[in-house]
């Protein structure tokens, strides 16, 4: 009896396992079909562009240098101040070269000695000429010597004044120890301080820059583009500038220069470009702001477009699947145009009333 009961229970368990397997297989076969989202073509402006990194700088920067070497005695400007041409910027106190100074002093001493001798000779021969003993021609020689000696003293005094003070004695011109602005604009930088030694520009030295002045109303973008993109550029192209410090502002610029020669940076060849920037009246752009330039290579305004991710490809080219019924689609060959990497222009094959299958949107 017990043995019969065990057999019955085993048969029931076996039937239950078999039935569960059949139920599982049937349930799997009843999964919901995949549903794809559909969208219609739309009108868009498509812009194909490349990006150049660089900075915004004034078109012209003027470095003001002293006309004499010496010690910077006073500075009358500071960064951010507006100046006009010939405004006083600084004053330099000359520290004369001791050898040159000694030579000039000796020259003046000799000139004065020669003048005293010439005056004595002139007075003596003037009396002889008045008495008729000396001819006029001989007297003129002593008169000329006196004038020459006086001129030599004046020249020696001027030379000594130039070495000591940087200006001629009784000069009608402004002393060159006063440093003046060479252009109108904003002072960008004053890299020296009062008490610093400064050097005039000469054959062997560029000279010490006392101030940098620039016209902040005329700014340009300076950047670099990779050699793979430079062939697509041409002068006159439109640039859209994004300045890092002014995240909410965009600026327009016109490409005006493309370097004929590239330079190697980090193993890649880069070409310098420059573009004239259009400023806004209510936004102050500082020199050397970092910026990115979107260079517009091509654009299509108000054209029929779709998302490029909707495109599918086979050996015959690009196609999309157009909805013909509820989750029923047919393949439609299309001709495409300009793409910005996200949207692509539709030249032919679709209309705004079509519903396009998004192949990436399938859900059960």
Closest CA to 286 of 255, 317, 319, 249: 249
What mean pLDDT is predicted for residues 151-175?
67
The model's confidence at residue 79, banded by pLDDT at 50, 70 and 90, is very high
Strand partners, 321: 331
Judge whether 218 and 58 are in contact, CB under 8 Å. yes
Of 301, 322, 299, nearest in space to 310 by CA: 322
Question: Is pLDDT above 50 for 94?
Answer: yes
Question: Could you tell me the two tokens for 185?
Answer: 């604009």
> Does residue 309 surpass a pLDDT of 60?
yes
Residue 149 has pLDDT above 90, yes or no: no
pLDDT tier at 28, thresholds 50, 70, 90: low
Say what the pLDDT of residue 363 is. 60
pLDDT at 134: 76
Mean pLDDT in residue range 256-260? 94
- Asked if the model's pLDDT at residue 6 lies above 80, the reply is no
The closest alpha carbon to 290, from 243, 334, 347, belongs to: 243
Does pLDDT of 40 surpass 60? yes
Query: What mean pLDDT do residues 287-298 have?
Result: 89
- Which among 280, 226, 290, 228 has a CA at the least distance from the CA of 253? 280
Which pLDDT score is estimated for 3? 63
Which of residues 141 and 88 earns the better pLDDT score?
A: 88
Nearest to residue 77, comparing CAs of 182, 232, 147?
182
- Contact (CB, 8 A) for 293 and 240: yes
Token couple for 59: 């078109």
Question: pLDDT-based confidence at 27, cuts 50/70/90?
Answer: low
At 56, is the pLDDT very low, low, confident or very high (cuts 50, 70, 90)? very high
Task: Provide the β-strand partners of residue 91.
Answer: 74, 178
> Which one has a higher pLDDT value, 33 or 66?
66
Residue 87: pLDDT over 90: yes
Band (pLDDT 50/70/90 cuts) for residue 352 is confident
**What is the architecture of the domain spanning 38-45+301-357?**
Beta Barrel (2.40)
Task: Give 177-194 pLDDT, tens digit per residue.
Answer: 789 999 999 999 999 999
More confident residue, 9 or 235: 235
More confident residue, 164 or 157: 157
Interhelix angle 136-165/98-130, rounded to 10 degrees, is: 160
For residue 172, the model assigns a pLDDT of 43
Of 1-15, 97-111, 325-339, where does mean pLDDT reach its minimum? 1-15
Residue 205: the pLDDT is 83
How much of the chain, in percent, has pLDDT values that exceed 90? 28
Residue spans of the domains in the chain: they are 38-45+301-357, 51-58+219-299, 61-214
Average pLDDT, the chain: 83
- DSSP lists the bridge partners of residue 297 as none
pLDDT at position 270, please?
92
Q: Which fold has domain 51-58+219-299?
A: Elongation Factor Tu (Ef-tu); domain 3 (2.40.30)
Q: 129 or 30: whose pLDDT is higher? A: 129
314/2: higher pLDDT: 314
Token representation of residue 320? 């999309």
pLDDT at residue 85 greater than cutoff 70: yes
Q: What average pLDDT does the segment 299-321 reach?
A: 87
Identify the CATH number of the domain defined by range 61-214.
Answer: 2.40.50.100
Q: What is the 3-state secondary structure (H, E, C) of the chain?
A: CHHHHHHHHHHHHHHHHHHHHHHHHHHHHCCCCCECCEECCEEEEEEEEEEEEEEEEECCEEEECCCCCEEEEEECCCCCCEECCCCEEEEEEECCCHHHHHHHHHHHHHHHHHHHHHHHHHHHHHHHHHCCCCCHHHHHHHHHHHHHHHHHHHHHHHHHHHHHHCCCCCCCCCCCCEEECCCCEEEEECCCCCCCEECCCECCECCCCCEEEECCCCEEEEEEEEHHHHCCCCCCCEEEEEECCCCCCEEEEEEEEECCCCEEECCEEEEEEEEEECCCCCCCCCCCEEEEEEEEEEEEEEEEEEEHHHCEEECCEEEEEEEEECCEEEEEECEEEEECCCEEEEEECCCCCCCEECCCCCEC
Tens of pLDDT, residues 266-278? 888 999 999 999 9
State the Cα angle at 66 between 63 and 69, rounded to 5°. 140
Q: What pLDDT is stored for residue 218 in this prediction?
A: 93
Hey, what are 129's tokens?
A: 């000429």
- When pLDDT is cut at 50, 70 and 90, the band that residue 37 belongs to is confident
């Amino acid at each position: 009896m017990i043995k019969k009961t065990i057999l019955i229970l085993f048969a029931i368990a076996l039937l239950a396992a078999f039935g569960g397997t059949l139920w599982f297989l049937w349930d799997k076969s009843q999964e919901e079909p995949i549903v794809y989202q559909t969208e219609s073509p739309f009108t868009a402006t498509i812009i194909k562009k490349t990006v150049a990194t660089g900075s915004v700088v004034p078109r012209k920067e003027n470095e003001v240098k002293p006309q004499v070497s010496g010690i910077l005695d006073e500075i009358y400007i500071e960064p951010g101040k507006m100046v006009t041409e010939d405004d006083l910027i600084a004053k330099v106190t000359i520290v004369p070269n001791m050898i040159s100074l000694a030579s000039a002093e000796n020259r003046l001493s000799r000139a004065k000695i020669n003048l005293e001798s010439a005056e004595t000779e002139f007075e003596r021969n003037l009396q002889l000429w008045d008495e008729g003993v000396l001819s006029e021609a001989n007297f003129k020689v002593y008169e000329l010597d006196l004038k020459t000696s006086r001129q030599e003293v004046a020249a020696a005094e001027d030379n000594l004044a130039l070495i000591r003070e940087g200006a001629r004695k009784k000069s009608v011109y402004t002393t060159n120890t006063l440093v003046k602005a060479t252009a109108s604009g904003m002072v960008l930088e004053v890299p020296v301080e009062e008490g610093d030694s400064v050097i005039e520009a000469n054959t062997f030295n560029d000279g010490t820059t006392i101030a940098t002045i620039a016209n902040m109303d005329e700014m340009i973008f300076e950047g670099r583009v990779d050699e793979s993109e430079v062939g697509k550029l041409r002068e006159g192209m439109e640039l859209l500038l994004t300045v890092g410090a002014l995240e909410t502002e965009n600026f327009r610029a016109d490409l005006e220069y493309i370097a004929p020669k590239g330079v190697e940076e980090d193993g890649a060849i880069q070409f310098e470009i420059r573009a004239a920037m259009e400023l806004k009246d209510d936004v102050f752009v500082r020199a050397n702001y970092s910026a990115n330039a979107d260079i517009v290579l091509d654009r299509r305004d108000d054209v029929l477009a779709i998302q490029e991710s909707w495109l599918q490809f086979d050996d015959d080219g690009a196609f999309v699947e157009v909805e013909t019924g509820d989750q029923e689609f047919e393949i439609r060959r299309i001709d495409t145009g300009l793409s910005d990497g996200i949207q692509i222009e539709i030249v032919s094959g679709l209309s705004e009333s079509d519903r396009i299958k998004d192949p990436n949107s399938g859900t059960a």
